[in-house]
Chains A and B, each alone.
Chain A
């Protein structure tokens, strides 16, 4: 090893970063070379000056306070999570508790309910049992013929089938029945054109919890990218809402359409927060699409956050 190479290794020698062979070669050289020994001393002096900056130690009590705050935050987060889980079963629980409180009245009430159910059910069956009156080929569709039987003595044929009727329902957008139908159409109907029209109508009431739920469902689950994009546009005024942000993060991390992911970044950046940094860093690291990755990186820079994930 020549002096130049030795001198460039001295720093790493003092940092204990040389392997055994390099260390031995350097130490052998130092034994015979005054120039390099002088350099070693200078480097030691430099590092000792730098290390004169003493370490800060957390003041007494700070660690305990941090632990306490942390455990309290975790406890609170868990409580919230459990409450939200319990909330889903609350109506069932309330009904069960009310039912138990009825005591001796339970049997007569149950019997009355059964009778009422039988009566209402019977009315429905009755209308189906008389297809002549109900069926009109112009406004009904037969979806399934399940049985055909002939009574030879009476000369009667009996056909069992399911009937679909086309009906019209009209009302303004505030009408709860209309809204219910629209929400059902958004979530269930197979024609993407209908779903898009439905979004167009629902978007003005996106602040309503049920409407928002339907729009976010479409945003996260619809197979048609055009419908998803329309759903995304419909919630853009709610970009700071926690539910919407969660849905947008889901789009950013799981939607296979790059255009959707870019739109999600734009909307999420309307209310940038620290939790978004982690999401963007994760996407920036895994994203295959150069443009989306670049937009993530730009967003992180805009938030003065690191682009890389460590």
Chain B
């Protein structure tokens, strides 16, 4: 997904209406962007509960602060700034609590992350499956050792497919800093998977 450099006329109209207190317009904005917000939160935080919290907090913050949106960047960038900030805080809290285990918390309890990965092959191969699981485990462990910011940049690049310039904008930093961050992240992953 590419960041939207300019505001679409639809976005502008919805934002202006929402700023005037039109709830339907705000709800429409939520519907336009919330799927990618929830997906980002889920992939970063690896917990449905945390992702739900981040979703709520992000959109409530957006609702409260929409009046201060000045159309200087895309709504997508503005919203992602809020979401990434919230997720970074959660990641930092998690890293302090040392909760980087590669498990996914679901309503049915904790599950190994790679149990959730759909096996798209027509014939399941137990040996390859085992290797795939082991690789997945190592990647998750390596990701858990990245700093929250490295993890965030890595996620925005790999999972969201954003350009470094857009990532820099979202994290209120330069493209060069985002690039260095991604470089450090990939170096650490490379070392862990060697």
Judge whether A308 is part of the interface by a CB distance below 8 angstroms: yes
**For residue B113, which residues in chain A have a CB less than 8 angstroms away from its CB?**
56
A304 to B23, alpha carbons, bound, how many Å?
A: 34
**Known interface pairs A63-B35, A66-B55, A73-B60; A54-B81 also in contact (CB < 8 Å):** no
**Known interface pairs A56-B116, A304-B96; A11-B88 also in contact (CB < 8 Å):** no
Judge whether B27 is part of the interface by a CB distance below 8 angstroms: yes
Q: Please tell me which one of the listed residues A46, A63, A73 contacts residue B190 in the complex, with CB atoms under 8 A apart.
A: A46
A69 to B34, alpha carbons, bound, how many Å?
A: 13
Report A247 CB to chain B, min CB distance, Å.
19
Within 8 A of A (CB), among B143-157: 143, 148, 157
Judge whether A62 is part of the interface by a CB distance below 8 angstroms: yes
Q: Please tell me which one of the listed residues A52, A67, A70, A308 contacts residue B132 in the complex, with CB atoms under 8 A apart.
A: A52
Q: Mark contacts of B89-129 with chain A using CB atoms, 8 A cut-off: 1 yes-contact digit, 0 otherwise.
A: 10011001000000010100000010011100000000000
Q: Mark contacts of B171-189 with chain A using CB atoms, 8 A cut-off: 1 yes-contact digit, 0 otherwise.
A: 1100000010011001001
Q: Size class of A's contact patch?
A: 35 or more
Judge whether A71 is part of the interface by a CB distance below 8 angstroms: yes
Report B166 CB to chain A, min CB distance, Å.
11
B179 pairs with A50, CB closer than 8 A: no
A63 pairs with B34, CB closer than 8 A: yes
- Chain B's closest residue to A78 (CB) is B23
Q: A74-B23, A308-B172 given; name 14 further pairs at CB < 8 Å.
A: A15-B182, A46-B186, A50-B158, A50-B186, A52-B139, A53-B139, A53-B143, A55-B39, A66-B56, A70-B60, A77-B60, A78-B23, A304-B92, A310-B170
Q: Report A's interface with B, CB cutoff 8 A.
A: 11-12, 15-17, 46, 49-59, 62-63, 65-67, 69-71, 73-74, 77-78, 274, 277-278, 281, 304-306, 308-310
Q: Report B's interface with A, CB cutoff 8 A.
A: 23, 26-27, 30-31, 34-35, 38-39, 42-43, 46, 48, 51-52, 55-57, 59-61, 63, 81-82, 84-85, 88-89, 92-93, 96, 104, 106, 113, 116-118, 132, 135-136, 139-140, 143, 148, 157-159, 163-164, 170-172, 179, 182-183, 186, 189-190, 193
